């Protein structure tokens, strides 16, 4: 069975096009790819051409033009007079010549491959063309072949399993030379331009989406489950191997059933640097081009990532909004409430610490996070909180502790009410309240795409679902559980059925192999992560593919120990100055620190260099050629007091931060290297200072 890239729109495709595509898909071998209505730029005539199908295989490319003709009155070498079913007679250009014109445009584009992708793509690509007439009888097909050329006219019988490959090959010039994998990769990018990844760095050839990424970008909107959901027994067996867990039921909530039936859902999971964001942006572009009448929204958690996505998605009228989640909520609330900067619960808790002994007992950070969690999962009353499972919260609580926490929460909420204020965790609830009252519109988007979706809380996803059209909406999610550095909720907890709708990207293209191996060691044996994936129906943690031929190589991460912060900061400044003198762009260099106080000191010491400085959290989803991680001893601080879940979250934060680096990674520390990062040492180059 061939791979089909793209799809026919049900409201526009002819019956003949559907029949031909079905046969191409079912009867061509698995290493053939069929591209559907891909745009070709006819630069000579300043037109965009849309051939019905382009078939790509290792012996060349074939352009096919399909005609639903039922009766032909007369033919000449250049045209045909046809009679339509309604009796109307029309003159039409010879479709073989139409296919040939398309093929010539394609061939001219293929000749430019070396300039775009480097000398590795310098090759003469065999090309052919044909017209397909699925409704005409064999006798008429024979007459057409006499006038228009035997190889270039195909009927329905030519698309039978025993003939189809032979007939397509007959349209091509004879050659014994087969196209190689990297040449086919470049051909894919020419035929389907969304595959092409433009390099911003001068002198580097463009890259190309891999075949798995390409399939995800161009799949039809309706995504149905591809596999049966694991049985309770199978899922429970997996969980038992990873640790104790509460038994799960097989019942699916009615709201989740309705979403599954009426919404196209796709979850793309991938290791860091595997191209999830690229796939998401290309998917948004593809949908905007295929469905210009749609309203599309792209959302994420991170402000900087939203800014980057906005730049990539300019110029597509169907993409109405590219934003981070809280900005989306603020826009929705305009006119419903008087917007003001949300309050900070931590500040209120610190100010009232003497009144609430539970804060001293459990800590400000824990109480703040617990209040946020209560709101994010939608717990609305004391009884629900007292009986809630609190899965993944990092520590157990006695009933008396929960009572006191809820007392504090009620006092805090009363203060907010008196101040006519709200905090960030209240914002999505205010949106839902406005929707329930009919004052905020629902069902306004045909498609919503979410990047870094692992960071979205259940109540956020509820807002997203309400914004999506209830019938025929498309929800596209890109996530990486190993980068869930803020919170972790399973997709079941979020009310989205993803089993059977999930694709994994396993190749970490962003990093060199040396950088990724060091980073992956941080989370390789994380049991909390394994348990979380098992609860979602993932029987195993999908390992990255580090054997792929397209992985780049480079220097190992450099590990340096310093005697003081001033010594380290001086080194970072000198090293950046050296890099800038040797052609590295300041926009491609970043210095990251675990603590905000450290960031402020670094900004002072590195002023005037033009490089970015930020916290580990601040650059999630972004990438840089050179990354400095400063004062790594600040990671896993007070680890002896950390729960297993807290340690897992810190591991994921370090892993995520290390994988921001494309080419060079510097790991700096003072005193002792963190015990929880000892596994990294076998993958680094230790440099004496």
Report pLDDT digits (tens) over 577-627.
999 999 999 999 999 999 999 999 999 999 999 999 999 988 877 899 999
Residue-level pLDDT at 685:
96
Work out the mean pLDDT of the chain and round it to a whole number.
90
Under the banding of pLDDT at 50, 70 and 90, the label for residue 481 is: confident
Rounded CA-CA distance 672/655 in Å is 19
Percent share of the chain, pLDDT over 90: 74
pLDDT, mean of residues 401-407: 97
The pLDDT of residue 258 is 64
Q: Taking each helix axis as running N to C, give the angle between helix 211-218 and helix 276-290, from 0 to 180 degrees, rounded to the nearest 10.
A: 40
DSSP state, residue 226: -
Q: Is pLDDT above 70 for 460?
A: yes
Per-residue pLDDT band for 639 (boundaries 50, 70, 90) equals confident
Q: Is the pLDDT confidence value at 107 over 70?
A: yes
- Residue 237's pLDDT is what? 32
pLDDT above 70: percentage of residues in the chain: 91
Res. 201: pLDDT tops 90: no
Whether the pLDDT of residue 276 is over 60: the answer is yes
Residue 3: is it exposed, middle or buried by C-beta count within 10 angstroms (0-12/13-18/19+)? middle
From 267-276, 307-316, 484-493, the region with the lowest mean pLDDT:
484-493
Query: Does the pLDDT of residue 248 top 50, yes or no?
Result: no
Question: Of residues 638 and 553, which shows the higher confidence score?
Answer: 553
pLDDT-derived band at 499 (thresholds 50, 70, 90) equals confident
Q: Is the pLDDT of residue 506 over 60?
A: yes
* Alpha carbons 152 and 67: distance in angstroms, whole number: 13
The highest-confidence range among 60-64, 230-234, 302-306, by mean pLDDT, is 60-64
Q: Binning pLDDT at 50, 70 and 90, where does residue 205 land? A: low
State the Cα–Cα distance between residues 215 and 238, nearest whole angstrom.
30
Backbone phi and psi for residue 408, each to the nearest 5 degrees, phi listed first: -60, -45
The length of the chain in residues reads: 689
Dist CA 149 CA 163 (whole Å): 18
**Structure confidence at residue 245 as a pLDDT band (50, 70, 90):** very low
Distance, in Å, from the CA atom of 347 to the CA atom of 366, rounded to the nearest integer, reads 13
DSSP-assigned letter for residue 87:
S
> Nearest 5°: CA angle at 360, between 355 and 366?
110
Q: How confident is the model at residue 534 (pLDDT cuts 50, 70, 90)?
A: confident
For the cut 50, the answer to whether the pLDDT of residue 233 exceeds it is: no
pLDDT(244) > 60: no
Instruction: Return d(Cα 30, Cα 24) in angstroms, integer.
Output: 11
Host H or E run for residue 297: strand 296-300
Q: How far apart are the C-alpha atoms of 141 and 150, rounded to whole Å?
A: 9
Global pTM value: 0.84
Residues 185-202, mean pLDDT to the nearest whole number: 82
- Judged against a pLDDT cut of 80, whether residue 73 lies above it is answered with yes
Of 83-87, 165-169, 675-679, which gets the smallest average pLDDT?
A: 83-87
The highest-confidence range among 38-42, 280-284, 685-689, by mean pLDDT, is 280-284
Task: Give the pLDDT confidence score for residue 240 in this predicted structure.
Answer: 34
Q: Is the pLDDT of residue 286 over 80?
A: yes
Q: Which residue has better confidence, 225 or 9?
A: 9
Determine the pLDDT at residue 489.
84
Number of H helices, E strands in the chain: 24, 25
Question: What pLDDT, in 10s, does the model give residues 648-668?
Answer: 989 999 999 999 999 999 999
pLDDT surpassing 70 at residue 243? no
Which range among 68-72, 206-210, 379-383 shows the weakest confidence by mean pLDDT? 206-210
Is the CB of residue 6 less than 8 Å from the CB of residue 33?
no
* Average pLDDT of span 165-185: 91
What is residue 620's predicted lDDT score, i.e. its pLDDT? 77
Residue 76 — left, alpha, or beta (φ > 0 → left; ψ -120 to 50 → alpha)?
A: beta
C-alpha to C-alpha distances, 351 to 148, 343, 345, 410, nearest whole angstrom? 87, 13, 10, 16
In the structure, what pLDDT confidence band is assigned to residue 488 with cuts at 50, 70 and 90? confident
What is the dihedral sign for C-alpha 224, 317, 301, 210?
A: positive
């Amino acid at each position: 069975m061939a791979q089909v890239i793209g799809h026919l729109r049900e409201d526009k495709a002819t019956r003949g096009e559907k029949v031909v595509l079905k046969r191409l898909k079912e009867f061509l071998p698995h290493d053939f790819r069929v591209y559907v209505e891909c745009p070709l730029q006819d630069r000579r005539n300043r037109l965009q051409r849309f051939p019905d199908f382009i078939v790509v295989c290792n012996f060349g490319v074939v352009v096919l033009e399909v005609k639903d003709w039922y009766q032909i009155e007369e033919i000449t070498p250049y045209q045909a007079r046809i009679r339509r079913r309604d009796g109307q007679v029309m003159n039409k250009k010879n479709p073989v010549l139409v296919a040939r014109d398309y093929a010539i445009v394609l061939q001219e584009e293929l000749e430019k491959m070396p300039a775009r992708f480097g000398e590795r793509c310098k090759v003469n690509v065999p090309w052919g063309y044909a017209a397909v007439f699925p409704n005409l009888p064999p006798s008429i097909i024979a007459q057409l072949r006499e006038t228009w050329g035997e190889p270039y006219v195909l009927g329905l019988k030519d698309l039978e399993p025993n003939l189809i490959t032979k007939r397509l090959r007959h349209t091509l010039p004879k050659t014994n030379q087969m196209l190689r994998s990297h040449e086919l990769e470049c051909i894919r990018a020419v035929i389907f331009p969304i595959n092409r990844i433009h390099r911003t760095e001068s002198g580097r050839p463009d890259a190309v989406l891999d075949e798995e990424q390409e399939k995800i970008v161009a799949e039809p909107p309706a995504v149905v489950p591809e596999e049966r959901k694991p049985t309770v027994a199978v899922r429970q067996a997996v969980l038992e191997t990873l640790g104790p867990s509460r038994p799960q039921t097989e019942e699916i909530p009615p709201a989740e059933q309705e979403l599954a039936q009426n919404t196209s859902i796709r979850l793309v999971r991938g290791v860091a640097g595997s191209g999830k964001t690229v796939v998401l942006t290309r998917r948004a572009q593809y949908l905007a081009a295929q469905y210009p009448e749609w309203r599309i929204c792209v959302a994420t958690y991170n402000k900087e990532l939203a800014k980057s996505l906005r730049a990539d998605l300019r110029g597509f009228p169907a993409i109405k909004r590219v934003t981070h989640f809280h900005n989306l909520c603020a826009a929705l609330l305009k006119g419903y409430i008087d917007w003001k900067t949300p309050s900070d619960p931590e500040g209120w808790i610190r100010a009232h610490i003497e009144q609430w002994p539970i804060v001293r007992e459990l800590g400000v950070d824990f109480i703040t996070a617990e209040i946020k969690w209560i709101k994010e999962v939608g717990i609305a009353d004391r009884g629900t909180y007292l009986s809630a499972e609190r899965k993944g919260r990092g520590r157990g609580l006695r009933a008396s502790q929960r009572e006191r926490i809820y007392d504090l929460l009620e006092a805090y909420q009363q203060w907010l009410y008196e101040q006519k204020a709200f905090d960030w965790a209240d914002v999505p609830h205010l949106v839902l309240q406005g929707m329930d009252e009919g004052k905020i519109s629902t069902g306004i988007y045909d498609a919503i795409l979410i990047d870094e979706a692992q960071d979205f809380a259940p109540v956020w996803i509820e807002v997203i679902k309400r914004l999506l059209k209830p019938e025929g909406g498309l929800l596209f999610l890109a996530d990486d559980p190993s980068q869930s550095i803020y919170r972790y909720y399973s997709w079941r907890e979020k009310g989205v059925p993803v089993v059977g709708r999930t694709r994994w990207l396993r190749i970490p293209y962003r990093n060199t192999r040396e950088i990724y191996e060091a980073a992956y060691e941080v989370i390789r044996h994380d049991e909390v992560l394994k348990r979380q994936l098992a609860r979602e129906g993932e029987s195993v943690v999908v390992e990255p593919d580090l054997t792929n031929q397209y992985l780049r190589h480079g220097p190992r991460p450099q590990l340096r120990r310093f005697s003081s912060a001033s010594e380290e900061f001086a080194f970072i400044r000198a090293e950046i100055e050296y890099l800038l003198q040797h052609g590295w762009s300041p926009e491609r260099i970043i210095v990251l620190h675990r603590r905000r106080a450290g960031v402020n000191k670094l900004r002072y010491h590195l002023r005037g260099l033009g490089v970015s400085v930020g916290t580990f959290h601040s650059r999630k989803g972004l990438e840089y050629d050179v990354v400095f991680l400063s004062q790594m001893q600040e990671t896993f601080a007070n680890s002896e007091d950390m729960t297993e879940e807290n340690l897992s979250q810190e591991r994921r934060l370090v892993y995520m931060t290390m994988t921001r680096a494309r080419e060079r990674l510097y790991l700096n520390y003072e005193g002792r290297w963190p015990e929880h990062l000892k596994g990294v040492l076998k993958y680094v180059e230790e440099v004496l200072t």
